[in-house]
Amino acid sequence: MKIIFTDVIEAQFLRIFIARVSPFTALTIGNMRRECYKERQSIIEKYFQMRVLPKGT
């Protein structure tokens, strides 16, 4: 149940993420398999730090 729930959250997050990021990057993330989950996660975190977090802090 936890895995399914996490996947749903991730799918919704990725949809928002892909809508904001360039098509090439979105394609790269979309092409990553489950084995590359941590790599994909780090890309999302880096993007989040760049774009989403306030720049003053």
pLDDT digits (tens, 9 = 90+) for 14-46: 777 666 666 656 556 555 555 566 666 777 777
Does residue 28 lie in a domain region?
yes
pLDDT of residue 53: 57
Burial letters 31-45, b for 16+ CB under 10 A, else e: eeeeeeeeebeebbe
Q: Is residue 39 within 8 Å of 32, Cβ to Cβ? A: yes
Provide the pLDDT confidence category of residue 12 given band limits of 50, 70 and 90. Answer: confident
Domain that holds residue 35: 2-51
Residue 52 phi/psi, 5° resolution? Answer: -90, -40
Please report which residue ranges of the chain form alpha helices under DSSP H. Answer: 2-20, 23-31, 37-51
* Structural domain total, the chain: 1
Does residue 56 lie in a domain region?
no
Does residue 57 lie in a domain region?
no
